Amino acid sequence: MAGSIADNAKVYSKVFKYVPPTPPAHLMNSTNFTLHFNNRKFIHIGIDPTDKFNVRVHIITSSRYVNISPDLLRRVFSMMGHILSFILDQTVKYKRTTFLESDILKLSSMVYSGENVLVIETKNQEGCRILLNRADLLQMQELEWCIFDSINQKCTITRPKILNHVDEFGAYIKEITATAPPENVEEMINVIKNVKVYQNIPMKRIYANQVKMFAAVQLAEICETRRNVKDMDELNENLSMMSPISPISPRFSPINMEPYTQTNMEPYTQTFDMINHADDKSDSANNIYIVCVFTKHRGLR
């Protein structure tokens, strides 16, 4: 028994070290809104190159953050009145209320530092949880229209432009590496980062530097995938030219026929004459035609 108590004492006296979550990805063309400067609470909206260049929303505090989609943010705003009614209510210790829970997001309330706060937690990323108090939520509600104006602009205007710039950047990388293509993605990333954007890419490509800085890995993977697909297409084309069963091969023969000897052709010729010289359309003539067709195909194998 004494041993177990000593073991428990070691467990209870253990000092837990805070492990910060993985830093969020850099957002391209980011727009920032301040919820509370002193408490270091901000909202960042931008294009996430690690998520197929989709628009993402980062709600950042001094030590943690959450990464959510615009659709999830809309759900949060749709429940804002219900959430504020709980946050503004009298604090009850140990009381937890869950407003929304899915496979990705959980919204709940708790008491922290003597006041009710909203807890936003993402389940697909470990350690990503933030606390928003009454002042933060009221400021967030006041910025609602500005936030969604920025989201709509990035979804409809910015994202298509960035995707177009990524495609053109990739075409330029393909051109300059045509003679000596990189052997792997790491070498491709080095090529991309060494490109002089303003010297080689038109000035109207205003997101080219952001693509180079924040999406070099994704651009390298795209270039490598396209090159592999092209090599595979060329390989398939060469194999189809060499294959004896390919329709474009000169050796392709769908039906193997016997040589056209007089013996093989004689039944067909006699039947052809009989049908041409037949004056009636009786069943006997049709029967002869059926037999003749069968006789013609008998020479095939």
Q: Are residues 54 and 127 in the same domain?
A: yes
Q: Are residues 103 and 190 in the same domain?
A: no
Q: Which amino acid is at 288?
A: I
Beta carbons within 8 Å of 214's beta carbon, 6+ residues apart: 25, 26, 27, 28, 49
Taking alpha carbons only, the member of 40, 47, 96 closest to residue 65 is 40
Q: Are residues 159 and 132 in the same domain?
A: no
Q: Are residues 173 and 228 in the same domain?
A: yes
Q: Report if residue 147 sits inside a domain.
A: no
User: What pLDDT score was predicted for residue 54?
Assistant: 96
Q: Are residues 224 and 170 in the same domain?
A: yes
How many other C-beta atoms are found inside a 10 Å radius of the C-beta of residue 121? Answer: 18
Number of domains within the chain: 3
Q: Are residues 168 and 229 in the same domain?
A: yes
Q: Report if residue 226 sits inside a domain.
A: yes
| Domain boundary residue, one of 142, 169, 189 | 142
Q: Report if residue 19 sits inside a domain.
A: no
Q: Report if residue 97 sits inside a domain.
A: yes
CATH code of the domain containing 59: 3.30.2450.30
**161 within 8 A of 155, measured Cβ to Cβ:** no
Q: Are residues 35 and 106 in the same domain?
A: yes
User: What pLDDT score was predicted for residue 200?
Assistant: 61
User: What pLDDT score was predicted for residue 199?
Assistant: 62
Q: Report if residue 254 sits inside a domain.
A: no
Rounded distance between C-alpha atoms, residue 42 and residue 281, angstroms: 92
Q: Report if residue 62 sits inside a domain.
A: yes
Q: List pLDDT tens digits, range 197-215.
A: 766 666 566 788 899 999 9
Q: Report if residue 8 sits inside a domain.
A: no
Q: Which DSSP helix (H) or strand (E) runs through 47?
A: strand 41-48
Q: Are residues 94 and 168 in the same domain?
A: no
Q: Which domain holds residue 185?
A: 155-241
User: What pLDDT score was predicted for residue 235?
Assistant: 46
Q: Are residues 128 and 67 in the same domain?
A: yes
* Sites in the chain below the pLDDT cut of 50: 1-2, 235, 239-301
Prediction pTM value: 0.68
How many other C-beta atoms are found inside a 10 Å radius of the C-beta of residue 276? Answer: 7
Q: Are residues 164 and 111 in the same domain?
A: no
Q: Report if residue 49 sits inside a domain.
A: yes
Q: Are residues 114 and 211 in the same domain?
A: no
Q: Are residues 107 and 183 in the same domain?
A: no
User: What pLDDT score was predicted for residue 270?
Assistant: 44
